[in-house]
Amino acid sequence: MSERPELALRAKELDAADELAPLRGRFVLDDVVYLDGNSLGALPVNVADQVADVIRRQWGEQRIRSWEENGWWTAPERIGDRIAPLVGAAPGQIVVGDSTSVNVFKALVAAVRMAGDGRDELLVDATTFPTDGYIAESAARLTGRTLRPVTPADVPAALSERTAAVLLNHVDYRSGRLHDLPGLTAAVHARGALAVWDLCHSAGALPVGLDEHGVDLAVGCTYKYLNGGPGSPAYLYVRRELQDRFDSPLPGWTSHAEPFAMSPAYAAAPGAVRGRVGTPDILSMLALEAALEAWDGVSVEAVRAKSLALTDFFLECVGAYTEPGRVECVTPAAHAERGSQIALRCPDAGEVMKRLIERGVVGDFRHPDVLRFGFTPLYVGFADTERAARVLGELLSR
């Protein structure tokens, strides 16, 4: 379809009125329309120099002294407190370290232990990201529980007095569907079970409200909307009221109450610290800490408002630039059910995404037929959005 000047003009006007538009300058970007921040966030401009300081001065000159003098030892909790307001948590409940998969394992096994022996079933999101399912299956075998996959919509009906814990994704990684965290958490609690949430596709994109909604345990990565870098450490949230009961299946030395006493008997540290395992991965940890400075002065509510505006505008532009029926949106239209991505289904999605990337529009492909576009409001604008839809339309009309 031909170019629509009115859409380009409206994009320009929306960008001019966007209070978050100046934040783009906090990132290293080029002329590419980058709509894959839901896989790997862009590099914040301050990270390279700060990491260079960590390597050259802190490690190169101060060496072992940096554990104390530069705060290396306390980095997992300090950075956890920096993430906390982005997911609606008070300080002292998040520890940073390990991968999402490892933290899912810690959270699930600890949840089963807290639930008690009378509860012999684990529920897991049947549409979950694969690793969550793999870890849940292993945790069930390890603890002698039965694993039952159910869709999030079916969780309330599936709950029973047998349920120990429920593992759910806040946003579905394929479709971008936002699940009802408050309602599902309340349903889980009403049956006496614990709620464990995976926030990988919501943290940094929309308000989460962990404390407000009484979530028991949560995990998430930091390399998507939090822009921490490839493989940056994940985090674990343990609700304050549960911390004294949190019994980690990986009781490493750094979660010991006296880690340098080198005692042969384990005694868990108080608070969220007991979610730690081994020596913190300092280089990636401090790169993440630097990256989180991009959030200084930023409201998650403002980010959410822009996210919805961007995805609404993208859908409007896709409708204008593509032939009816050429693509199908699998992301819910309702704002209450939409994360910060749009997933479009088309038969030749893999080839289409390759051609989009060649034309300077970067999203990603999910098997078998989904084009996935992630909208990071800190650096994606409305002109980017219009251009992406226009290029998509041009490619699909050939």
pLDDT tens digits, 312-348: 999 999 999 999 999 999 999 999 999 999 999 999 9
pLDDT of residue 1: 57
Q: Average pLDDT in the 359-380 region?
A: 97
pLDDT of residue 2: 63
Among 252, 278, 280, 286, CA closest to 267: 252
pLDDT of residue 82: 98
Say if residue 85's pLDDT is above 60. Answer: yes
pLDDT tens digits, 370-388: 999 999 999 999 999 999 9
Active site residues: 129, 198, 223-224, 372
Give the separation between CA 114 and CA 129, rounded to whole angstroms.
25
pLDDT of residue 396: 95
Give the separation between CA 376 and CA 357, rounded to whole angstroms.
18
**This model's pTM is above 0.95:** yes
Distances, alpha carbon 250 to alpha carbons 79, 238, 255, 271, in Å:
21, 15, 9, 16
Percent of the chain whose predicted confidence (pLDDT) is above 90:
98
Say if residue 3's pLDDT is above 80. Answer: no
Put the strands of the sheet holding 163-169 in their side by side order. Answer: 94-96, 235-238, 217-220, 194-198, 163-169, 121-125, 146-150
Contact status, residue 304 vs residue 311, Cβ threshold 8 Å: no
Q: Average pLDDT in the 186-193 region?
A: 98
Element (H, E) at 33: strand 33-34
Q: In sequence order, which ranges of 116-180 are alpha helices (DSSP H)? A: 130-143, 155-158
